[in-house]
Amino acid sequence: MKRKYIIITGGVLSGLGKGIAIASIGKLLSHDYKVVPIKCDGYLNVDPGTMNPIEHGEVFVLDDGGEVDMDFGHYERFLNVDCKVDWNLTMGKVFNEIREKERKGDFLGKTVQMVPHVSNFIRNRFIEIGEDSKADIELIEIGGTIGDMENELYIDAVRSLARKVGKENVLFVHLTYVPIPFGVDEQKSKPTQQSITLLRKRGIEPEIIIARCSEMLNGKIKNKIASTSNLNNEEIITGIDVDDVYKIPLVFENQGLSQLLARKLNIPIKADLTRWNELIKNKEEAKKEINIAIAGKYTSLEDSYASIIEALHHCSAHFLVKINVKWIDTSEEDIDLTDVSGVIVPGGFGSRGTEGKIKIIQKCRENKIPFLGICYGLQMAVIEFARNVCNKSSANTTEVDENCEYPVIDILPEQKKIINKGGTMRLGAYPAIIKKDSLVYSLYGLDQISERHRHRYEVNPKYHDLLEENGLILSGLSPDGSLVEFIELENHPYFVATQAHPELKSKLEKPAPLFKGLIKAAIKYSEQSELPYQPPILEELRIDEDFVRIDESLEEDEGFGEAENSFEEFENGFRESHL
């Protein structure tokens, strides 16, 4: 079949959930077709890598080292696809490439204009991505709201795309908002009507309307919207508010969206949401509750840790337990862990809140509270161990104190001369060798794994021996043994940390192994908190094999496939492509 393109635009206001909507549409299609998502952002940053998480939300990192918008997390979790950095367009990227093409003379001396040169460049990039990825269906999300200056070139590009590839191969979906004003108790369609008018002025006729509302749309409102948009009532879909975003594909399917898409695109679609529905029911039927603390410095915006929250949701569905998140701002002085069954210290940068994280980790270590450290959390755990177990009270990271006496965490020597912020980080998927007698090995069930990274500093190799001599297990190392990827402690219910970000690969149908290990230990901790401590048996924390086939997924990934002959080649290929 000819490649199909589904374009989703947004109206009325930002934050309506275009990323979730397009991921949910993709979920309905992914059973039958290869679906590739594309996100178009209007900002002039090349990528979100240098943006403050409080301003922009989480930076999502891909296997290929790309730093992209957090919507890609939704795409991967719903579509079970490994996205590529080229699938995220920003105006910063676009203008960079246009400028380079102009300097090379690619425009043959013409005056380079926003329209048609830049918009055609964007349109052609959509087509190229489809060809390179061999996609059956492309999902293109236009960031921002209709009427925003920042997305006008994207809108023009998708308008001309229909002419380029054939109107029958392009479907326009518009996400809008139907409010119910307080005291009026009536659904209002006027914002949606105005939004559709703005879209039409730009030459685009929406073919499906998804209206966000706190209630299912009534017949009267559907009639109004349908008449305004020249559509039938069944082409107006309610994007109802839900307590769990994973319900959205089910909500859409219950309204017949998959068959509506099939008719519009003239293709057969068989949406299979059986397993998806079972897992959601598991979460709803959970009777047991546990509290998990997330100790960080960006707690004022939960989107800063979106993937961690999602990884906990995934575990909730598999363990039939409700997981309540307790936010702990580590820049505050009072830290109370009395009501938690597990603690996560997530990634971060800078000095603010570091001492609070170290105190929390010390409490977890000494009081046998299940603990998972992620990226910066591993580094803080190493510092805490060096200070309080190895008796190096002035141990620190050179990120906080450049002249500390015991720099147990330090920047990679080869990266000290790099100026560009993004270039100084170890980004993307990196391999690790796991000790076979370790807890981490029991969780993954493999001795060679790969996780995604985003950090500048490492455990200083000069202190590896000191840490091990005092009882810290370096349970996962880089293939050459120089970089610490995983640590753990014996005689503790669950004390594990990783330099990677395993939450980025967690999915509803396949939760991240380290999170599953934490939640399993936390459940046991909550049940036995009043009993004498018993060391865990590795077999009890082993993760089900059907959720940890990381070796099989690596073989299918293009970046890993060419390096099957040896793990050393495997590592070298990644270093060359990412650094």
Catalytic positions, written as ranges: 375, 501, 503
Q: Give CA–CA dist 170/167, Å, rounded.
A: 5
Q: Give CA–CA dist 125/20, Å, rounded.
A: 23
> What is the token pair recorded at 283?
């979460």
> What is the token pair recorded at 24?
């949910």
Q: Give CA–CA dist 530/369, Å, rounded.
A: 13
Q: Give CA–CA dist 503/401, Å, rounded.
A: 29
Element (H, E) at 137: strand 137-142
Q: Is 297 helix (H, G, I), strand (E, B) or coil?
A: coil
DSSP for 1-52 reads ---EEEEEEE-SSS-S-HHHHHHHHHHHHTTTS-EEEEEEE--SSSSGGGS-
Q: Is 490 helix (H, G, I), strand (E, B) or coil?
A: coil
**Which phi and psi angles does 427 have, rounded to 5°?**
-120, 140
Of the chain, the end-to-end C-alpha distance in Å amounts to 39
Rounded CA Rg of the chain: 25
Fill in the DSSP letter of residue 118: I
**Which phi and psi angles does 288 have, rounded to 5°?**
-80, 145
Residue located via tokens 């409490």: 363
Four-residue CA torsion sign, 326, 327, 330, 332:
negative
**Edge to edge, what strands does the sheet with 208-213 contain?**
88-90, 35-41, 137-142, 4-10, 170-177, 208-213, 236-240
Q: How many CB atoms lie within 10 A of CB 302?
A: 15
Q: Give CA–CA dist 501/504, Å, rounded.
A: 6
- Cβ contacts of 416 within 8 Å, gap of 6 or more: none
**Which phi and psi angles does 459 have, rounded to 5°?**
-65, 125
Q: Is 416 helix (H, G, I), strand (E, B) or coil?
A: coil
Q: Give CA–CA dist 518/227, Å, rounded.
A: 53
> What is the token pair recorded at 527?
């049940």
User: Partners of 296 in the beta sheet?
Assistant: 329
